[in-house]
Amino acid sequence: MSNLAQVMGKLGELVRFHRKKAGLTQIQLADLAGVGKSTVYDIEKGKATVQIDNLFAVLTAMNISIQFSGPLNAAFERWYATQTSDQ
């Protein structure tokens, strides 16, 4: 199984868990997120073909955030702060 498939599978389970704990159906979550029911279904099934804007809409509706990490995260954050302070 590829890394992407593993990530999407776990993300799908996370969305399903939150949705069920919130007492929502897939249709209700889709309505809250402003996406189609098939998008919620596809996310929960771990499909890698979900459009990222739809994925973020569902995550936002469920108050789920994503954090990125890597060995150069601290260096990137310092660099990024200098880039955004110039704008």
Per the structure, the complete domain to which residue 78 belongs is given by: 3-85
Count: domains in the chain: 1
Specify the pLDDT at position 84.
80
Give burial (CB, 10 Å; 0-12/13-18/19+) of 31: middle
| pTM given for the model | 0.83
pLDDT, residue 1, reads 67
- Measured in residues, the chain has a length of 87
Chunked mean pLDDT (size 10), the chain, 87 residues: 91 98 98 98 97 97 93 94 79
CATH code for the domain of 55: 1.10.260.40
